[in-house]
Amino acid sequence: MRYEIPTEARLPFLAEPVAIHWGNHALVMFGIWFVLVPVSVMLLRFGKIPPSTYGIPRGTSKWAWPELPWTLHKYALYTAIFLTLAGAGLSVLLSGGFSGTLHAWLGSAAVLLGALQGLSAWFRGSHGGRKDPAADPDDRATWGGDHFDMAPRRWWFEAYHKTAGYFALALALGAVATGLSQFWMPVLAAAMFVVVLAALGLAVLLQGRGHKHDTYRSAYGHHAEHPFNRRRYGRMLEERGEKP
């Protein structure tokens, strides 16, 4: 059954109906999911500093480059969640309720996963490491933290947060595509095509040029005594002197 998109809305607190400009809704959602979110993801994926012995220097400002990708990713994520919830809520209000279309279902799923991204960040655990303000840089016993130790809490946070983030982007792509099938905007369709191709090309280029660095080693360093490095590379280090 074909869904007729309403062109005006009657709100209980207004005497006269108001015109609905669905093009503005499409532009805002496109800006969130095809500009703001991908830029924040690419920045964190490819903007981390190359690993050193102890990673990010102690005392580095959250707005200095070694920490900046994480800072911008966090604030971009919360901004995207706020704008998405506002945009989705306004569209439901103006439509007179949930439309039940494929666009509505995909959009709702993207909104839900996006909101859960922000919620999951509260469960990432403590940081730790030599750079932690509470640590003594000369006493390794004080460097403990969920991330530095790669405790189960942090391990499962990363497993969920990274995976669900890409699923949210895929759902957003489907929501925009189905939205365009209901309210055709050729310029926006062309922009979506260009952005997807540009993101693919840029990701391949940056990956190929070696700009993707391991998060743990970038933040804390590649020292062999770091807990997660020992777990990952301990056997390799033990066997380096063995002959085939």
151 within domain boundaries: yes
Nearest to 222 by CA among 206, 201, 237, 204: 237
Judge whether 229 lies within some domain: yes
**Does residue 198 lie in a domain region?**
yes
Q: Which of the 8 DSSP states describes residue 183?
A: S
Number of Cβ within 10 Å of residue 147's Cβ equals: 23
Give the dihedral sign, CA 180/77/70/225: negative
pLDDT at site 198: 97
The total domain count for the chain is 1
**How far apart are the C-alpha atoms of 220 and 132, rounded to whole Å?**
10
Q: Is residue 112 part of a domain?
A: yes
25/48 Cα distance (integer angstroms): 33
For 19-58, the pLDDT digits (tens) are 999 999 999 999 999 999 999 999 999 999 999 999 999 9
Identify the CATH number of the domain in which residue 64 sits: 1.20.120
Distance between CA atoms of 117 and 39, rounded to whole angstroms? 16
Mean pLDDT per 10-residue run, the chain (244 residues)?
A: 78 84 94 96 96 96 95 96 95 90 96 96 96 95 97 98 96 95 93 96 98 97 94 81 65
Evaluate whether 59 touches 22 at the Cβ level (below 8 Å).
no
Report pLDDT for 165.
96
Is 98 within the bounds of a domain? yes
Given this model, what pLDDT does residue 11 score? Answer: 81
Count CB-CB contacts under 10 A for residue 236.
8
Cα(33)–Cα(170) distance, rounded to whole angstroms?
10
* pLDDT value of position 4: 79
Give burial (CB, 10 Å; 0-12/13-18/19+) of 143: buried
Query: For residue 222, what are the domain limits?
Result: 8-233
Q: What is the pLDDT of residue 14?
A: 80
Q: Is residue 239 part of a domain?
A: no
Structural contact between residues 90 and 22, judged by C-beta atoms closer than 8 angstroms? no
